[in-house]
Structures are given as C-alpha cells and as structure tokens.
C-alpha cells in the first residue's frame, strides 16, 4: 500500500510545494485507478483526481498523518457526487425531454440573447433547496429517483406506495423546479450550457 511519509504531510501543512508535488506524483496513478472503478471515463477520472488534489492544497494546514485514507475517501466521495449529478441530469432529461426539445427549438429561432444563467454551483444549490422544500414524501421520492437512480417500481415497493403515486411525486418535483428555476436555467443545467 502506498503511504506518504509524515514529513510530506507536514510539508503540505506548512505550504511546501515540493511536498505537495511528491504527494501528487506518489498518488496520482493510484487514485486514478481507484476512481476508474466507479467512473469508467478517463477524462472525468482525471478531473475528479485533480479536483481532490486542488482541494488538498487549498485546505493545507489541517491534515493528519497518515493521509492515505483521507485521499481514498475524498476520491470515492467525489465519484459519488459526480455520479449523482449525472443521474440527476439524466432523470431531468427523461422527465422533461419533450418540453426541453420545444424550448431548444424556440431558442434557436429567437433573435434575442437567450439566457441570464446562474453558475452550475448556484443552480445545484437551488435544486437542493427546492428538493428540501418539497413535502417529506415527495422529497424522498425525488432523492431516490433523481440522485440515486432508483426505478419507480423499486421506490414504490421500498416506500409502500403505488407506482402512480411515485410518478405524481416525481411530476410535482419537476413542476416545482420548472416553476422556480425557469425552463431556460433548467435546460442549461441539464445540457451543461453554463457560463462559468
């Protein structure tokens, strides 16, 4: 098992770039291999691992030896977050595919500047806020369906409700998002058209 020496962790905490580079070189391939188990896309894997290292450097001064477990857990958590985000986008596409296609067509034919967009993080935060404001049952269905990718029949069985009730909760959540975010922002979020 790879294990960074105590002096590397101490150096990072003190802001030593050489220590950080040693950690990066030591763990880069290992963490990419680990992330590939969860996210089978090399480009996304590299983004995830780079983000983890950037976060480590940004929050230097707070790490304990050994750091191996922290690195592994950080990559696993980042993979889960990415997968949930992709699941949410897929579910939103499925739920509003027809509306989104009509909206896209209208935007293509319009002459005006189409969107005043929020950043991806702001929209993600608003989606979570909207989810939190839903009635408890509706929120539970929303989270299971959009974040965890569970099917309507699995949710119905797990929660002891009918599939039609699950679909009503899903539609309620989507309608609330459409109402509060607007179709333009929802469309941009789903298809990754954010201005960063």
Q: Which residues contact 72 (CB under 8 A, 6 or more apart)?
A: 31, 34
How far apart, in Å, are the Cα atoms of 107 and each of 79, 102, 191?
Answer: 33, 9, 14
pLDDT at 117: 44
pTM of the predicted model over 0.85: no
- From first to last of the 196 residues of the chain, give the pLDDT tens digit: 677 788 888 888 899 899 999 999 998 888 998 888 888 788 888 989 999 999 888 888 888 888 888 898 899 888 888 877 777 667 666 666 666 566 555 555 554 444 444 455 676 778 888 888 999 999 999 888 877 778 888 899 999 998 888 888 888 888 888 788 776 566 655 554 433 3
Tokens of 84: 């949930």
Task: Report the pLDDT value the prediction gives residue 102, as an integer from 0 to 100.
Answer: 62
Spans of all domains in the chain:
6-83, 115-190
149-157 — which CB contacts under 8 Å span 24+ positions? 149/87, 149/90, 149/91
Query: How many secondary structure helices (H) and strands (E) does the chain include?
Result: 8, 0
- Please report the pLDDT score of residue 44 as a whole number: 85
- Is the CATH number of domain 6-83 1.10.260.30? no
CB-side exposure of 44: number of CA atoms within 13 Å? 15
- Asked if 6-83 and 115-190 have one fold, the answer is no
Confidence (pLDDT) at 116: 43
CATH 1.10.10.10 fits 115-190, yes or no: yes
Report the pLDDT value the prediction gives residue 193, as an integer from 0 to 100. 41
């Amino acid at each position: 098992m790879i294990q960074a020496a105590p002096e590397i962790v101490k150096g990072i905490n003190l802001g030593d770039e050489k220590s950080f580079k040693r950690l990066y070189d030591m763990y880069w391939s290992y963490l990419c291999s680990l992330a590939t188990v969860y996210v089978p896309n090399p480009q996304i894997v590299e983004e995830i691992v780079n983000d983890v290292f950037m976060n480590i450097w940004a929050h230097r001064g707070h790490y304990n030896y050994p750091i191996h477990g922290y690195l592994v857990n950080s990559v696993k958590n980042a993979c889960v977050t990415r997968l949930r985000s992709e699941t949410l986008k897929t579910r939103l596409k499925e739920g509003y595919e027809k509306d989104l296609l009509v909206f896209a067509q209208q935007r293509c034919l319009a002459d005006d500047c189409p969107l005043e967009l929020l950043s991806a993080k702001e929209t993600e935060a608003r989606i979570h806020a909207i989810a939190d404001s839903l009635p408890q049952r509706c929120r539970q269905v929303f989270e299971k369906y959009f974040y965890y990718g569970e099917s309507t029949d699995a949710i119905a069985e797990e929660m002891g409700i009918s599939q039609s009730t699950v679909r009503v909760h899903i539609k309620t959540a989507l309608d609330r998002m459409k109402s509060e975010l607007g179709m333009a922002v929802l469309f941009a979020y789903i298809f990754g058209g954010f201005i960063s």
